[in-house]
Amino acid sequence: MKAVVYKNPKQATLVSDRPLPKLRDGYILVKTETVALNPTDWKGIHSGGAKEGSVIGVDYAGVVEDIGPNVSKPFQKGDKVAGFVHGCNASNLEDGAFAEYIVAKANLSIKIPDSLTFEQAATLGCGVTTVGQGLYEKDYGLGLALPSKPIKEPEVLLVYGGSTATGTLGIQFAKASGYSVITTCSTKNFDLVKKLGAVEAFDYKDPDCGKKLNEYTKNALRYAWDCVGTADAAQICAAALTTNSGAHYGTILGPKFPREDVAYTATLAYRGTGEDFVMYSRELTQNGKHAEFQSEWWDIARTLLAAGRIKTHPISLRPNGLAGVIEGLEIMRAGSYSAEKIVYKVSETP
C-alpha cells in the first residue's frame, strides 16, 4: 500500500510498497478515505519523536475492513468510522493515519453520524481526544462536568486558542456542559468562535489580554484550558485566573506556569490508546485508565455530533491525496493557515 512515513533526517516521504498493518487485539482495520493534519504530525517529524519507517498522522476517516479480537464496540465490516491513532509512534511503526490502510484502536473510534461527510469526520480525532482529556478526565485534566451531566449554574471557563481545531471543539463541548465560555484568538476569528458558543472573545495579541480577561470575570475565573501550550499562552492564563484559591490551569505541551498557587495539569492524547510507548526517551506506561475514559468519552461525543450540537472545524480540502500530505505538513510547520483544518482524500492522485 501507499503510506507517508518518517525518513531520517527529519523528513516525510511517500512509499508505495508498504505492507498492510497487522490486526491486533482491540483494533480495527480501516481502509482510509480521508485524513486531516495536526501540528503534532510535523512536530513528530522535526522534534526527534519518530523512528525510521514510522507511519505519520493521527486523524482519519474510512471504512472498516476487518475487526480484531477483543473489540467491545459493535463495529461491523463496512461501517464508516473515524477517530484517532498514534502517528510517528517509535514503539510501533505500523501505527499512523497517513496510509491507504490503517489499524485503529476501537476505543478511540466511532461510527460516523449520517450527518457528517468523510471530510468532516476526519477532523475529529486529535481534537475530540484532547478535549476529553483536557476538560473532563478526572485526575488528569480539569475534571469538569461532562455534557451528559451538565452543571445547573453556569461557571466561566477560559478556552485559550479558541479558533484552533481543538479550541472550536472545546468551546462547543464546554457549552454543552453548561459552562459560560470565554476565549482568545485573532480578531478576524471572533465571529467564528462566537458562532460556536463563546460568550466573549479577546485578542491574544493585546499586551493587556490577561488583565482584561481577569477584569471581565471580576477576578472569579477558576478554570483556564490552554490548547496552544506556549509560554506566552501560559502567561496570559496566569494573569486571567483568579488570585483567590481554587484556580486550575490545564494545558497541552506542558509549558512552565508562572504561578505556584494554581493547580496544573498537562495532557497527551497518545495516552488515550492505553498502550505503553516511548516518546523522547521517556517511557509512558499505565495508560489503561486513559483508554477506559476515552471509550466512554467518544460515545458521548458521537451522541452530540449526531444530534448536531457539535460542529466540525472549518475544512480546507487540498489536492493530490497522500502525495499532497507532504506539502501540507510544511504548510502547517510554516503556520500558513488559520482557523481551518487541512484535509486530503487518500485515493486522489496528483
Determine the pLDDT at residue 200. Answer: 98
252 pLDDT tier (thresholds 50, 70, 90): very high
d(CA 109, CA 59): 10
Element at 249 (helix H, strand E): strand 248-252
Question: For 3-124+313-345, which CATH class?
Answer: alpha beta
* Nearest-angstrom CA–CA distance, 218 and 38: 35
Q: Quick check: 109 and 79 in contact, CB under 8 A?
A: no
Order of all β-strands in the sheet with 200-203: 200-203, 180-185, 156-160, 223-226, 248-252, 263-267
Q: 280: pLDDT confidence band, cut at 50, 70 and 90?
A: confident
Q: For the chain, give every domain's residue range.
A: 3-124+313-345, 129-267
Band (pLDDT 50/70/90 cuts) for residue 48 is confident
Report residue 105's pLDDT band, with 50, 70 and 90 as the boundaries: very high
The residues near 1 (Cβ < 8 Å, ≥ 6 apart) are: 16, 18, 19, 20, 99, 100, 101
Amino acid at 216: Y
Q: What is the DSSP string of 314-325?
A: PEEEESSHHHHH
In DSSP terms, 248 is beta-bridged to 223, 263
User: 288-306 and 165-176 helices cross at what angle (nearest 10)?
Assistant: 80
Task: Name which of 141, 134, 127, 184 is nearest 305 in CA terms.
Answer: 127
N residues, the chain: 350
Using one digit for the tens of pLDDT, what is the confidence trace for 1-36?
Answer: 999 999 999 999 999 999 999 999 999 999 999 999
Give pLDDT tens digits for 147-183.
999 999 999 999 999 999 999 999 999 999 999 999 9
**Mean pLDDT along residues 194-205:** 98
Q: How confident is the model at residue 49 (pLDDT cuts 50, 70, 90)?
A: confident
Q: Say what the pTM is.
A: 0.97
Domain 129-267: give its CATH code: 3.40.50.720
